[in-house]
Amino acid sequence: MTPADGLGEVLDASDSRAVGSSGRITITLKIRRYNPEVRGEESWWDEFTIETDPDDRLLDALHQVKWYHDGTLALRRSCAHGICGSDAMMIDGRNALACKVIVRDVAPRVTIEPIRGLPVLKDLIVDMEPFFAGYRSVLPYLINDSGEPETERLQIPEERKRFDDTTKCILCAACTTSCPIFWGDDEYVGPAAIVNAHRFIYDSRDENAAERLEILSDKTGVFRCRTTFNCTEACPRGIEVTRAIQEVKRSILFDRF
Amino acid sequence: MTTFHTFDAVIVGAGGAGLRAAIEASDRVKTAVISKLYPTRSHTGTAQGGVCAALANVEEDSPEWHAFDTVKGGDYLVDQPAALLMTEEAVQAIYQLEHWGLPFDRTPEGKIDQRRFGGHTRNHGEAPVRRACYSADRTGHMILQTLYQQCVKRDVRFFNEFYVLDQLMSDGACAGVVAYELATGELHVFRSKAVLYATGGYGRMFKVSSNAHTLTGDGPSVLFRRGIPLQDMEFFQFHPTGVYKLGILLSEAVRGEGGILLNSEGERFMQRYAPTVMDLAPRDMVSRAIYQEIKEGRGVGPNRDAVYLDVRHLPRDVIEEKLPDVTEFARVYLGVEPTTEPVPIQPTAHYAMGGIPTNVDGQVVVGETETPVPGMYAAGECACVSVHGANRLGTNSLLDIVVFGRRGGKHMAEFAEQADLPELPDDKPEAPVREHLQALMNKPDGANAADIRSELQQQMFDLACVVRTEESLRKMQKILGGLHDRFEHVYVQDTGKMFNTELMEVVELGFLLDCADALVAAALARDESRGAHYREDHPLRDDANWLKHSLAYRQDDGSIRLETKPVKMGPYVPMERKY
């Protein structure tokens, strides 16, 4: 077909489905608060009712609260379109990035809490250090001591595809902090660390899968996983996290590296 | 309480340029990376389409052709020796990333695959060339991840969620920086032989922007306040294809893979503006073309202020496998299904060509003589080498950060190996920052920062955007004066020390106002049109008077003084820019 075919419908200037907004709506944000400087160890709930565009991101609504109602509200954010991984939070009981949730889909009322299993520091901000410690423990970098060729190392598309899914990880912690095993067990490295190990274990250029599988066969590793699929559901990048974990389990049990 | 640290080298910012510099410096000297974000949150991660290098993996190519395109794309404001060096070093820079594990897409025989990108051509403009190395449409993500992985491997010392708020000098040389720790509200003094700024851009001064909320020009502004000039600030790139209203980037790779732009008549209008390369013309030309289409009534949408990006004719597997992220952006944020519907887009504030003036070793240089400031470095978007001139070509920013991040990091390590540790200017070098922050927090009420910010963004987008005039810029200058006055009385509600993100947002707004001052002053002075700087009242390029860089200095009385310095020429003689 020629590119202009079928443009009639979407070119209608009055079309508000693709372009434009359909009036403001009201939404109530119920937010779990915590601020040890002000109220000690007690956490509490605050509610803010605001008017927004239905197409706005939930992050925009949180900004509206912070900028016009309560400047003390603390949250992390940066890119605002689901790539930097700063604004993972629990939204109506499920982990998601606030910048990838559209207000229309959660109105008229939404409950927002910090992600679970990491120490809360202030409001929606948690201590990410234990999460990154788990990441670092799986040797998350290419290991190849065979010397570097003058040009690129060759890797055919099938080999490249083998680990494509796990290269998408943005380290937002939505998966790890949705995992009930992680909530109850400080030692478990958690789904995100395993995803990042997977990314190198199945990379044809890497030479140290054995050591990573050894690390993940430890009591803190993959066999803590009880396959609840929370991680896969939580991943804002659509990574099949549980499948990646299962592949690593299988490699530990059956493959010789 | 103030904490004092001592390092040989401090890198400010942990995006691509900062991390690349850290890899280079940390093996040799005691290095710290100070970043207001966790490194993997940096905006390098949102770059999509590719990074160019003349690998010639899929068709004939040469670094010299790449240099020509870069110079022409930059409307001859590019320093040609720097462009030749960057495009020459590009090839090794890509192999280095591959050796570190970057998962590039591959050709059937296993080499790095390459795709077309705007302004990149075969043999000096004959036809588009496949030069962009890529990893689906998340190339920046893979570069950021790979560089961070290498930093983890090297056990690089990071200070995450620390904001650098002041530069320390002694005897005209770098002595260190002052930083604010977000978690505690405490100040830290980093005494250091050398400092490299890699803080990224300042696109958040515009309403519709592809930039993260955190891209507020911190590094340029800190140095501007300390007397360092800012170069070529009038050149700010508007990327043609931002998600309508939101500004989220939809990669040029969409057009590289065959996507086209349509106006309300269903016409592929780029045929009229750039008959040879059409939709793959450089970004400044495409953004102006869109502006023109909208102005002449051929826009789409209820306000007729958008045009369409159309990929419906592309094979489904190309859309799903090579452009998965941008496809999802259209679905999530617009509710549009790109395989069956065209996507409404508009130009979005994207990239600062200008910034802190440096030479090709990342050294910060001042004045027409380009005198290096001892120990002071900059790289990446916050710097101006200048390899992008008046308009950056797509993919050249990712190349810039790895080439000049490496060169800056290397030079700073060599400098630190032989330099003595500088004295701090006095025993309370953090005092100005402390007073500034306390003044902000000690007001019972005052102006709302969000109001000031949204007015800045709206007015800059209306008056200092794709098209400018003397009248619009004078108006903007006046508005900026008023915004500064209001900023003097800005109110911070949160008086706490822990994670006071409100306080830091206000500080960032102050940085944005400074960068906007420099941008508007330089844009007003340059009464010609070149690259991304288009003056409707002076629509032609004026090489006789303006083939030169601008330098903006903040004066003690707050006003801005402008200087110029020559462009470094080379083999390419300026000619009319046609595609």
Is B103 at the interface with chain A, CB within 8 A?
yes
The pLDDT of B42-67, averaged and rounded, is: 97
d(Cα B176, Cα B9) in Å, to the nearest integer?
A: 9
Across chain B, mean pLDDT equals 97
Instruction: Judge whether B203 and B248 are in contact, CB under 8 Å.
Output: no
- Say whether pLDDT at A2 is over 50: no
Instruction: Judge whether A169 and A215 are in contact, CB under 8 Å.
Output: no
Give the model confidence (pLDDT) of B344-393 as tens digits: 999 999 999 999 999 999 999 999 999 999 999 999 999 999 999 999 99
d(Cα B207, Cα B210) in Å, to the nearest integer?
A: 10
Q: Which residue among B40, B99, B301 sits closest to A19, beta carbon to beta carbon?
A: B301
- Say whether pLDDT at A18 is over 90: no
Contacts by residues B334-339 (CB-CB < 8 Å, ≥ 24 positions apart): B334/A18, B334/A19, B334/B243, B334/B244, B335/A17, B335/A18, B335/A55, B336/A18, B338/B311, B338/B312, B339/B311, B339/B312
Q: From the centroid of its chain, how far is CA A37?
A: 29
d(Cα B17, Cα B397) in Å, to the nearest integer?
A: 10
Record the pTM: 0.96
Instruction: Judge whether A89 and A98 are in contact, CB under 8 Å.
Output: yes
Q: Do A156 and B310 touch (CB under 8 A)?
A: no
Tell which of A7, A99, A132, A207 to mutate to test the B interface (max B CBs under 10 Å): A7
d(Cα B201, Cα B87) in Å, to the nearest integer?
A: 22
Is B443 at the interface with chain A, CB within 8 A?
no
Strand segments (E) across A123-223? 125-126
Q: What confidence score (pLDDT) does residue A22 get?
A: 54
DSSP B341: S
Give the model confidence (pLDDT) of B197-250 as tens digits: 999 999 999 999 999 999 999 999 999 999 999 999 999 999 999 999 999 999
Q: Which residues of B touch A203 (CB under 8 A)?
A: 101, 103
Phi, psi (degrees; rounded to nearest 5) at A107: -65, 155
Q: Which residues of A touch B105 (CB under 8 A)?
A: 157, 160
Residues 114-173 of B with CB under 8 A from A: 135, 138, 141-142, 145, 149-150, 152-153
Residue B577 known to be catalytic: no
Q: Which residue among B149, B244, B260 sits closest to A19, beta carbon to beta carbon?
A: B244
Q: Which residues of B touch A57 (CB under 8 A)?
A: 333
Identify the band that residue A186 occupies on the pLDDT scale cut at 50, 70 and 90. Answer: confident
Residues 21-80 of A with CB under 8 A from B: 35-38, 55, 57, 63, 66-68, 70-72, 74-80
d(Cα B393, Cα B531) in Å, to the nearest integer?
A: 11
d(Cα A115, Cα B474) in Å, to the nearest integer?
A: 48
Tell which of B138, B141, B210 to mutate to test the A interface (max A CBs under 10 Å): B141
* DSSP H or E segment with residue B446: none
Q: What confidence score (pLDDT) does residue A257 get?
A: 55
* DSSP H or E segment with residue B418: helix B396-418
| Encoded amino acid at B412, one letter | M
d(Cα B412, Cα B11) in Å, to the nearest integer?
A: 10
Residue count of chain B: 579
Strand segments (E) across B41-156? 51-52, 114-122, 127-133
Is A151 at the interface with chain B, CB within 8 A?
yes
* Burial of A195: CB neighbours in 10 Å, binned 0-12, 13-18, 19+: buried
CB count in 10 Å sphere of residue B268: 16
Instruction: Judge whether B133 and B113 are in contact, CB under 8 Å.
Output: yes
Residues 311-370 of B with CB under 8 A from A: 312-313, 325, 329, 332-336, 341-344
CB count in 10 Å sphere of residue B448: 16
User: Which of these is catalytic: B115, B116, B130, B283?
Assistant: B283
The pLDDT of B46-50, averaged and rounded, is: 95
- Say whether pLDDT at A8 is over 90: no
Q: Give the whole-number percent of chain B exceeding pLDDT 70.
A: 100
d(Cα B477, Cα B524) in Å, to the nearest integer?
A: 9
Q: What confidence score (pLDDT) does residue A256 get?
A: 59
Residue with tokens 């851009």: B201
d(Cα B65, Cα B74) in Å, to the nearest integer?
A: 14
Q: Which residue among A11, A78, A79 sits closest to B300, beta carbon to beta carbon?
A: A11
* DSSP H or E segment with residue B183: none
The pLDDT of B10-36, averaged and rounded, is: 98
Is B455 at the interface with chain A, CB within 8 A?
no
The pLDDT of B336-344, averaged and rounded, is: 96
| Encoded amino acid at A29, one letter | L
Give the pair of three-digit tokens for residue A106: 């959660």
Q: How far is CA B265 from CA A8, B268, B440, in A?
A: 9, 9, 53
d(Cα B349, Cα B403) in Å, to the nearest integer?
A: 24
d(Cα B377, Cα B10) in Å, to the nearest integer?
A: 10
Q: What confidence score (pLDDT) does residue A185 get?
A: 87
CA distance to partner chain A, nearest, from residue B26 (Å): 17
d(Cα B13, Cα B201) in Å, to the nearest integer?
A: 11
Q: Which residue among B55, B99, B301 sits closest to A153, beta carbon to beta carbon?
A: B99
